[in-house]
Amino acid sequence: MKIEPSDLDFTGKRVLVTGAASGIGAAMARTFHGHGATMVLADRDAAGLEAMARELPDSRAITFDQADLASIQAMAEAAGPVDVLLNNAGVLWAGPFAEMPMAELDRVAVINFMGPMRVAHAVGLGMLERGAGVIVNTSSQLAFHGSAERAVYASTKAGIAQFTKSIAAEWAPRGVRVVAIAPGRTLTNINSYLLEDGEKRVEALKGIPNGRLAEAPEMARLALLLASDVLGYVVGETVISDGGYVLL
Ligand SMILES: NC(=O)c1ccc[n+]([C@@H]2O[C@H](COP(=O)([O-])OP(=O)(O)OC[C@H]3O[C@@H](n4cnc5c(N)ncnc54)[C@H](O)[C@@H]3O)[C@@H](O)[C@H]2O)c1
């Protein structure tokens, strides 16, 4: 049976993407908008958000801070009812765990772990009331590895994978489907050192069997397919797209 263009048409759907000002979130915003969705763009970067909102007609920009519960609640309220939540904003701190300042440990844990759970709660309750919705969380390939110099980051992403399974089991019977994507190394601001630093880039490529870093639109397309009814039987999975990294 053929997949028809209408199967990937999000016309009439409101899609909220966090971390929409940059990287994977910006690519998600462009991709879902290209497939007809009305976009609600959320990020702490007000200038970046405004630029995205200008680029994508009929989209709405909401500035918020995923580190702050009240800000998340205000964002969810301002967003109104959404059909799809792309729960994507996150930060990276890279370096030896022993050298990680406690304030950074807390910041990464709150933004990457508490944040997406709070966003899913704040936005998901409306979906449950309406008995319909899809949540796509952004985990990471590092959810599936121990990762030197990424201890807290990898732990938060493993937590997101477990959170995805757990609420998927609770919410699927109530009409809300929850899944996650696990991107491999993708060329965005989070990884800007890979663009600048030739040696680190060569080192990073060694771990990727297909020999290249990912582009943000590749992650956006995975999210689009997962959010569509084409993959409507996928529930609770964290789907890896990493060029084969986890195979090594
Ligand atoms: N790029 C990669 O290699 C990679 C790999 C695996 C997972 N990820 C995940 O993908 C997601 C998107 O990252 P990216 O690579 O596009 O990086 P990015 O830095 O380009 O984008 C992250 C966005 O999140 C926003 N953000 C950060 N903290 C926030 C906060 N407290 N409140 C609101 N917004 C905040 C930033 O302003 C930015 O626009 C993250 O969750 C990241 O962990 C990225």
Residue ranges and CATH numbers for the domains of the chain are 5-240 (3.40.50.720)
Query: Positive or negative, the Cα torsion across 75, 76, 78, 83?
Result: positive
133 φ/ψ sector (left φ>0, alpha ψ -120 to 50, else beta): left
Q: Which atom of ligand 1 is nearest to the CA of 189?
A: 20
Integer CA distances (angstroms), 25 to 100, 131, 212, 220, 233, in order: 27, 26, 21, 8, 24
- What's the gap in Å between 112 CA and the centre of ligand 1? 9
- Residues acting as catalytic residues: 153
Reported as a single tens digit per residue, the pLDDT across 117-139 is 999 999 999 999 999 999 999 99
- What's the gap in Å between 171 CA and the centre of ligand 1? 26
Rounded CA gap, 60 and 207, in Å?
Answer: 39
DSSP string, the chain: -PPPGGGG--TT-EEEEETTTSHHHHHHHHHHHHTTPEEEEEES-HHHHHHHHHHSTT-EEEE--TT-HHHHHHHHHHH-S-SEEEE-------S-GGG--HHHHHHHHIIIIIHHHHHHHHHHHHHHHHT-EEEEEE--GGGGS--TT-HHHHHHHHHHHHHHHHHHHHHGGGTEEEEEEEE-SB-SGGGHHHHH-HHHHHHHHHT-TT-SPBPHHHHHHHHHHHHSGGGTT--S-EEEESTTGGG-
For 219, residues 6+ apart whose C-beta sits below 8 A from its C-beta are: 24, 27, 28, 181, 183, 186, 241
Q: Ligand 1, atom 31: nearest CA belongs to which residue?
A: 66
* Residue to probe by mutation, ligand 1, list 16, 30, 31, 44, most atoms within 8 Å of CB: 44
| Whole-number pLDDT of residue 206 | 87
For 143, residues 6+ apart whose C-beta sits below 8 A from its C-beta are: 154, 157, 158, 160, 161, 182, 238
CB-based pocket (< 6 A), ligand 1? 19, 21-25, 43-45, 48, 64-67, 88-91, 111, 138, 140, 183, 185-186, 188-191
Reported as a single tens digit per residue, the pLDDT across 172-218 is 999 999 999 999 999 999 988 777 767 888 888 888 999 999 999 99
Reported as a single tens digit per residue, the pLDDT across 11-53 is 999 999 999 999 999 999 999 999 999 999 999 999 999 999 9
Reported as a single tens digit per residue, the pLDDT across 73-115 is 999 999 999 999 999 999 999 999 999 999 999 999 999 999 9
**pLDDT(68) > 90:** yes
Q: What is the mean pLDDT of the chain?
A: 96
| Whole-number pLDDT of residue 181 | 99
